[in-house]
Amino acid sequence: MTMLSLLSMRARIEAGSLTPAEAVALTRDAIAEHEPSIRAFVATDPDPHVPDTGPLSGIAVGIKDIIDTAHLPTQMGSSIYRDWQPRADAPIVARLKRLGAVPLAKTTTTAFAFIDPTETRNPRAPGRTPGGSSAGSAAAVAAGMLPLALGTQTGGSVIRPAAYCGVVGVKPSFRLLPTVGVKCFSWTLDTLGLFAASAADAAHALALIAGRPEIDQPATVPRIGLLIPDYCEAAEPEALEALDRARAIAEAAGAGIRAFTLPDEFRHAFDEHATIQDFESAQALAWEYETHRDSLPPLLRAHLDTSRTIEAAAYDAARRVAHHARRSLRDILRNSDLDVLLTVSAPGRAPEGYASTGDSRFNRLWTMMGVPCVTVPVPGEGPPLGVQVIARFGDDARALVAAKFLEKAFTDRP
């Protein structure tokens, strides 16, 4: 399976060797070939409108199925919303259309973006989970069925499946992209993100979608803080080996790298992610729980049973911890001589089997901090492994510049 490059497709369109309609037809052919075994989609547009103009004309996009689309059902991964048809596009979908992109398909999501697995399979690691909850978007890009797909992250649902499927995933700074029209799980944490074949593709797409051209900059040599997390259970040896391999390649390419550690307060902040997420999810899904509890999948149902017992005082205390940790991280990074942090994207390779979507423990803290994160696949044998680039809040450009540097260093390695 060869992944589709957004930039390559756009270059061919601009050169006149490929029309936008032909570009979309290529993706539809790839879907016809691979979708029966990957199962990344819940709906596709049988007769898509393909604009002839726009900076993303000819680019077919996958839309995670918790994001409203006026032309396709939005079913939340749940029988409760089977065949539900919104009247309007979410702003993020409307923005894609204005840019000339084609929202071609709805990608699978775990029910309400929690952790009950989907039917999607991992194109790059057969027999292993593609992750969650944006499994369909990650798998669709990994299988070469789409050049771009949208996902969301409340814990680790962009970075983790991207790492498991061997693609680039971007979780932008909190609120860079609008979550209006996206089914809420936690309004403090939910963040829209992107999946693409390369960091260059992702940077170009994010700059256009966000309307911030400064995000897409050429790769430069970064100053990197190497973070081996100690605020939670340790990563598996293979993940740490991939991180060390990335470090060695980056150093050989000229990057300055030094060890970086977080103060103990971040261990406490990490622990409070669950309090915030769980308290808010009980309210966000109150109607579904109270009127359709028996239709909820087992893991989500049990989660909401427990989440409804969290008291407001505990939630308020957790929010204060998160607020102080965000300010502390801002100051730490501002006063350092570092451009980005480099750490693991996931505990290890995608777990075998389909009973679990994996573990988001190396993503949750950064989601709560609201900072931009990019995962880049690390070269090596076996199922995919990735490393995670983290920058200061609002400095999405720096995160993507460093990701481009790593990507090129990995490609150019001896």
Q: Where are the domains of the chain?
A: 6-215, 223-266+319-412
Q: Do domains 6-215 and 223-266+319-412 have the same CATH topology?
A: yes
pLDDT of 311: 98
Residue 161 CB: number of other CB atoms within 10 A? 35
What secondary structure does DSSP assign to 221-257, as a single string? PPEEEEE---SSSPPPHHHHHHHHHHHHHHHHTT-EE
At residue 362, the pLDDT reads 98
Instruction: Decide if 173 is catalytic.
Output: no
Architecture of domain 6-215: Alpha-Beta Complex (3.90)
Whether this prediction's pTM lies above 0.85 is answered by yes
Catalytic annotation present for 183: no
Catalytic one among 78, 137, 157, 345? 157
Catalytic-labelled residue, pool 64, 97, 106, 183: 64
Report pLDDT for 1: 80
Token pair recorded at residue 50? 């393909």
User: Per the structure block, which two tokens stand in for 288?
Assistant: 């579904």
- Exposed (0-12), middle (13-18) or buried (19+): which is 16, by Cβ within 10 Å? exposed
In three-state secondary structure terms, 150 is: strand
What is the identity of the amino acid at 112? F
Which CATH number applies to 223-266+319-412?
3.90.1300.10
Task: For the chain, give the number of residues.
Answer: 414
pLDDT averaged per 10 residues, the chain (length 414): 96 98 98 98 98 98 98 98 98 98 98 98 98 98 98 98 98 98 98 98 98 97 97 97 98 98 96 98 98 98 98 98 98 96 98 97 98 97 98 98 98 87
Q: DSSP assignment of 259-285, as one string?
A: EE---THHHHHHHHHHHHHHHHHHHHT
Catalytic residue among 57, 133, 173, 307: 133
| DSSP character at residue 190 | -
Whether residue 157 lies in the annotated active site:
yes
Residue type, 254: G
pLDDT value for 321: 98
The closest of 371, 376, 368 to 402, measured between CA atoms, is 376
| Residues 197 and 6: beta-carbon distance below 8 Å | yes
